Chain A
Amino acid sequence: MIQFSDASVTYAGGVHAMQHLDLTIEQGEFVVIVGLSGAGKSTLVRAVNGLVPLTGGSLQVDVRPGRSLGGRSEGEPTSYDVVGLTGRRLRDLRAEVGMIFQGFNLVKRTTVLNNVLMGRLHRVPTWRTLLGMYPADDVELAMRALERVEIVDKAYVRASNLSGGQQQRVGIARALAQEPSIILADEPVASLDPPTSHAVMRYLQQINREFGITTIVNLHFLDLATRYADRIVGLRNGELVFDGPGSAADEHVFRDIYGRSLTADDVMGEEERGGDAEAVVTPPTSPA
């Protein structure tokens, strides 16, 4: 469970990116946050893992290690009071929260596998990381994460040699390799074409359903939001202006959230339309 209570974030420049937010997200929910650029979407997801500290109110994150790739047994639930969390405890929380980024944030010069192994850093002893000698179990787990997003055949390819959609799948695998109980995705499809975007959203949805991982996704495109979200949260100027099931979010609601009429730019479009259909849509052929 993630619980914001009267939470606020004011940046050094005086921008109120989050204002008196009360929001509770239950374990296993698939929540899509919508709003214009600057509405506070990024701030909200980055607050959950402490990348952006709250300047007011409180935030409690309960993690419950559940079913996951490695079949990690259900551990004791742990409760984190995120405000003021530092050092080891903060890193413990972050290890339970996978994150997916708009720009993928992969190390482009190194292999796909090394990027996914980054998701294991919290578990692997530092001396092993320094020498690049990851335990076989962790490598296996990374491979399983890659398999889950159907890109395991690229494990030893340099990340820079992948297409955007493939890189984002590596990003998902990296998050999955953490065996997280929460996944945060900050505009995961903003740099992708429509078919690839739908594929990425489907992976996120499947992972959410299969492993019961709480998933929070920031999106700009309202058709993607209504299609994949169990629940939509609308933000405007750092304030919560809508909270309801995906089915309840119609055009009027979006007009309220965006504070203006909708335009073609607010719709992603169907996957049949749009640019080059890359391997993301069809499962890659496994090497013989």
Chain B
Amino acid sequence: MSATAPSRRVARPDEPPPSRFGVAMGVLFVVMTALSVVSTGFSLDGIIEDLGRRNDSISGLLNIDLSVITSTRTLTAFVETLQMAVVGTIIGGAAALPLALASTEVGARTTTVRWLVRAFNNVVRAIPDILWALLFVAMVGIGVLPGLLALVFFSIAVTTKLTSDVLDGIDLGPVEAADATGAAHVAKLRTAVVPQILPAYSSFLLYNFELNLRASAVLGLVGAGGIGTRIEFYRSAGRWPEVWGIIVLFFAITFVVERLSIMFRRRLV
């Protein structure tokens, strides 16, 4: 094609005007942002000014105490965190598979079951991990157990949601074939449905494990065990160099776990 401009305009339909919905959403976005800035008193000046002041947490960053990494208490807390994340993922993930199956048309034998399971899943998902931890601390006291329980429910919420989305897109041909062989319901799900979603489901479990590891840092703040307990201990004592030391270690571990997890997940799907 030459670069010369065409001498004739191709006859074309009128360009449609922007959709009303699009315009409305755009206006809404601008208005919401403006209202939020005004009502929260957000200002960049304030942030810059505060950062310039003397600040223990920031100055702790300059002399990070990495020796906390080798202390037995910190290491024990880390092992606790890993254990919580592993067990939480396994138990929550195991519960998530039947819950995800039962929330779909293929998996639920009756509409009533499907709606009940969906309602349950929605409730579990609506409660954030830290709130689960607070609830379980109130129920069973502080320690690893409430943290573990919180992660179980958090895992159920995450993995169920992701898995049921995948279930909506499976090939129904094998399901019909299994029905035609006279297979029982559970056997049908196991042979015609689960193999189709297994790679995605395994990938979600790994992703869930990453999330659990990160969540466990926060759960300790409310007394639910793990490395968060140590962070909270040093933070409340104002010992910021130690806090940053733990955060560096935590960063290193989550980075490694995430890399490994991504590597495995690539091979799965």
* A interface residues with partner B (beta carbon < 8 Å): 49, 51, 90-99, 101, 103-110, 114, 117-119, 121-122, 124, 126, 129-130, 171, 174, 178
Contacts and interface: CB of A to CB of B under 8 A. Distances in A.
13 contacts: A51-B180, A91-B183, A94-B181, A104-B173, A114-B191, A118-B183, A121-B181, A121-B187, A122-B184, A124-B187, A126-B187, A129-B191, A130-B190
B163 to A, nearest CB: 16
B188 interface: yes
B177 interface: yes
A129 B173 contact: no
A49 B190 CA distance: 22
Contacts of B191: 107, 114, 117-118, 121, 129
Contacts of A103: 173
B173 A122 contact: no
A105 B174 CA distance: 5
Contacts of B187: 121, 124, 126, 129-130
Contact of A118 (B181, B184, B186): B181
B179 A105 contact: no
Contact of B179 (A94, A110, A178): A94
Q: Which 8 A-B pairs have the closest CB atoms?
A: A94-B182, A95-B182, A105-B173, A121-B183, A91-B182, A99-B180, A105-B177, A122-B182
B178 A118 contact: yes
B256 to A, nearest CB: 30
A99 B180 CA distance: 6
Nearest to B183: A121
B171 to A, nearest CB: 8
A91 B191 CA distance: 16
Interface of B: 171, 173-174, 176-184, 186-188, 190-192, 195-196, 198-199
A257 B176 CA distance: 29
A107 to B, nearest CB: 5
Contacts of A96: 182
A121 B174 CA distance: 13
Contacts of B184: 91, 121-122, 126
Contacts of A130: 186-187, 190
Given A118-B174, A118-B183, A124-B187, 18 more contacts: A91-B183, A92-B182, A94-B182, A95-B182, A96-B182, A97-B180, A99-B177, A101-B173, A105-B176, A107-B174, A107-B191, A117-B191, A121-B178, A121-B188, A122-B182, A129-B190, A129-B191, A171-B177
Nearest to A96: B182
A174 to B, nearest CB: 7
Contacts of A121: 178, 181-184, 187-188, 191
B173 A95 contact: no
A203 B205 CA distance: 44
Contacts of B192: 107, 118
A154 B167 CA distance: 28
A109 B198 contact: yes
B177 A101 contact: yes
Most chain B Cβ neighbours within 10 Å, of A93, A107, A118: A107
A100 to B, nearest CB: 9
Most chain A Cβ neighbours within 10 Å, of B171, B183, B186: B183
Contact of B195 (A93, A94, A109, A178): A109
